[in-house]
Amino acid sequence: MTRPTIRLTVRLTLTASTLALGLAAATAAEARDQIQVAGSSTVLPFATIAAESFGDNGDFKAPVVEGGGTGAGLKKFCEGAGEETIDIATASRKIKPEERDACTKAGVTDIIEVRLGYDGIVFASDAKGADFALTPTDVYKALAAEVVVDGKLAPNTAKTWKEVNAALPDQEIMAFVPGTKHGTREVFEQKVMEAGCKATGAEDVIKGIKTDPKEAAKACTTLRADGASVDIDGDYTETLARIASEPKAIGVFGLSFYEANTDKLKVASVSGITPSVETIADGSYPVSRPLFFYVKKAHIGVVPGLKEFAEFFVSDEMAGKDGSMAGAGLVPDPKLADQQTIVADETVMN
């Protein structure tokens, strides 16, 4: 390389770096014109659908949507009010009191809580495998770490589903359950394991042995660690891949994920009800949970299009019975009109 070219390069890079440094100062003051959404990975696909259509139709830019989990999203949401914080947090559970406190401390006082719809949690196995008709009792007996034998707690030794319930297939017990960081796990523990614990009468025995109610609840929901139940810390795609290599296993999925993969998976009924958008909406399928999103009222009118997006998110066209998100597995809220009123009136949580 000759000397002039080197000089030129040096000069060029110096200019480039001055530009890059100057940028931060020059443009940081510019107003944000894109809505920022973060939170539950269960709500993520629905939020992206809404954001995409909102960008197509409206006169506003499409919102930027991040996943990361309900807890992480609400943490970011409660960091404060102002342009550098997110506008909407999505959640697969209600906001916890301690999260509210964190919000209040950071100055986020007016929060609009909107229920987007419901999500079903389903048990599904390989499409070529046997049919399963489960009940919470079966699942509890098959997967609990300790079960009650002769009035005492003993390690669970059930090997096949047939041992648990004679009506089930003679197939090795093997389950892939979302890890503890997932919101799905919480619902699984509450609606399946605890229900099963209660139904088998094990709960009363446990309460007799363990006086601390927290310990007792934990004994009901602790899963086997001998390989019959495997925690999946990744997402549903990982569970699906594990089932593909282990066709005898049963996996726990969100309804929307199952709906996108019905050619590879076969769904199990729970207490005689096959999960579907209809059976979850009418409440007959037992394992479901509400999905929420939270809007910072202070940002309405500051971030362009925020209220319009919130309204669009719960509009009939999106979250309604024949809406776009129902097609992707969201179970519509039968009282969606109430939620639309909440957004329209900007009703804050008390």
Partner 1 sequence: MTAPTRSLLVADARTKARNRAEARFRAYGLAAILLSVTLLGILLVSILSNGLSAFRQTEIAIPVTLDAALVDKGGKGDPASLRATSATAYGKLIAKALKDELARRSIPTGGLSDKDIAALISEQAGADLRNRVLGDPRLVGQTVTVDGLATGRIDGYFKGRVTLESAEKDSKIKPEQLHLADAMRDAGMMALRFNSGFLTNPDASEKRPEAAGLGVAIVGSLYMMIVVLGLSLPIGVAAAVYLEEFAPKNRFTDLIEVNIANLAAVPSIVFGILGLAAFINFAGLPRSAPLVGGLVLTLMTLPRIIIPARAALKAVPPSIRDAALGIGASRMQSVFHHVLPLAAPGILTGMIIGLAQALGETAPLLLIGMVAFVRDMPGLPPGGFLDPATALPVQVYNWTQRADPAFTERASGAIIVLLAFLLIMNAAAILLRRRFERRW
Of the candidates 33, 32, 108, the one whose C-alpha atom is nearest the C-alpha of residue 74 is 108
Based on the shown chain and the rule CB under 8 A, indicate whether residue 27 belongs to the binding site for partner 1: yes
Closest C-alpha among 308, 342, 303 to residue 53: 308
Alpha carbons 258 and 265: distance in angstroms, whole number:
7
Interacting residue with partner 1 among 39, 40, 43, 51 (CB under 8 A): 51
Please tell me whether residue 274 binds partner 1 under the rule CB under 8 A. no
Measured from the CB atom, the residue of 127 and 273 that comes closer to partner 1 is 127
CB of 24 to partner 1, least distance (A): 6
> Contacting partner 1 (CB under 8 A), which of 39, 40, 43, 45?
45
Q: Does 20 bind partner 1 (CB under 8 A)?
A: yes
End-to-end CA distance of the chain: 70
Question: Assign residue 226 a region: left if phi > 0, alpha if psi is -120 to 50, beta otherwise?
Answer: alpha
CB-nearer residue toward partner 1: 76 or 218: 76
Residue whose token pair is 């259509």 = 53
Question: Apex CA 170: angle with CA 166 and CA 172, to 5°?
Answer: 120
133 exposure class (CB count in 10 Å sphere: 0-12, 13-18, 19+): middle
For partner 1, the binding residues in 238-257 under the rule CB under 8 A are 256-257
CA distances from 327 to 30, 180, 182, 322, 347 (A): 38, 28, 24, 7, 29
Binders in 307-346 for partner 1, by CB under 8 A = 317, 324, 327-328
Paired residues of 126 in beta bridges: 265
225 binds partner 1 per the rule CB under 8 A: no
> Token digits for 319?
């979250």
By rule CB under 8 A, what string of x and - marks binding of each residue 165-204 to partner 1?
A: ----------------------------------------
| 145 and 155 Cβ atoms separated by less than 8 Å | yes
Tell me: does residue 157 bind partner 1 (CB under 8 A).
no
Could you tell me the two tokens for 171?
Answer: 């197939």
Binding to partner 1 (CB under 8 A) within 54-73 occurs at 55-57, 59, 61-62, 64-68
When asked if residue 160 is in the footprint of partner 1 (CB under 8 A), the reply is no
CA–CA separation, 221 and 192 (whole Å): 9
Region near partner 1 per CB under 8 A, out of 158-166, 180-188, 262-270, 332-340:
262-270
Nearer of residues 127 and 199 to partner 1, judged by Cβ = 127
Tell the burial category of 15 from Cβ atoms under 10 Å away from its Cβ (0-12, 13-18, 19+).
Answer: exposed
- When asked if residue 24 is in the footprint of partner 1 (CB under 8 A), the reply is yes
Q: Judged by CB, which is closer to partner 1: 77, or 140?
A: 77
Binding residue (CB under 8 A) for partner 1 from 104, 160, 237, 341: 237
Q: Which stretch binds partner 1 (CB under 8 A): 83-91, 144-152, 181-189, 220-228?
A: 83-91
* Structure token digits, residue 183: 């919101």
Residues at the site binding partner 1, with contacts judged by CB under 8 A: 1, 3, 6, 9, 13-14, 16-17, 19-24, 26-28, 30, 32, 34, 36, 38, 41, 44-45, 47-49, 51-53, 55-57, 59, 61-62, 64-68, 79, 83-84, 86, 127, 235-237, 256-257, 259-264, 317, 324, 327-328
